[in-house]
């Protein structure tokens, strides 16, 4: 069985609901990129600790990142994403904030 079987279902993962910035209405994406250094277990643990994702959501996002090269792991106002991005990069993940 190919590791790609069932991958399309992973893309249907619901990422956290968009949270609107009540002052400006501006949202941004927190994007994590694939790398050859971090293990699946470490990435999953980081998503659970920093982003408060469930283990299932964290695992599915790790798989999407692995196969697609990147994934949006959270959508929120930039001010909310900055400390989360810093926490992820401090843990060795490649993360950036992108404007919508």
Q: Kindly state the tokens that stand for 10.
A: 């992973």
pLDDT tens digits along 7-39: 555 544 444 434 444 456 699 999 999 999 999
Does the domain made of 7-99 have the CATH classification 3.30.1390.10?
A: yes
Q: Kindly state the tokens that stand for 71.
A: 């994934």
pLDDT tens digits along 42-97: 999 999 999 999 999 999 999 999 999 999 999 999 999 999 999 999 999 999 99
Phi-psi region of 58 (alpha: psi -120 to 50; beta: other; left: phi over 0): alpha
| Domain locations along the chain | 7-99
CA distance 19 to 46: 21
């Amino acid at each position: 069985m190919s590791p790609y079987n069932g991958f399309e279902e992973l893309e249907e993962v619901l990422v956290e609901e968009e949270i609107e910035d009540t002052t400006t209405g501006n949202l941004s994406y927190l994007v994590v990129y694939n790398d050859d250094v971090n293990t699946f277990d470490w990435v999953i643990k980081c998503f659970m600790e920093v982003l408060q994702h469930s283990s299932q959501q964290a695992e599915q996002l790790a798989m999407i990142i692995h196969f697609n090269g990147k994934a949006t792991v959270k959508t929120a106002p930039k001010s909310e994403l900055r400390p989360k991005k810093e926490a992820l990069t401090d843990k060795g993940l490649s993360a950036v904030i992108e404007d919508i």
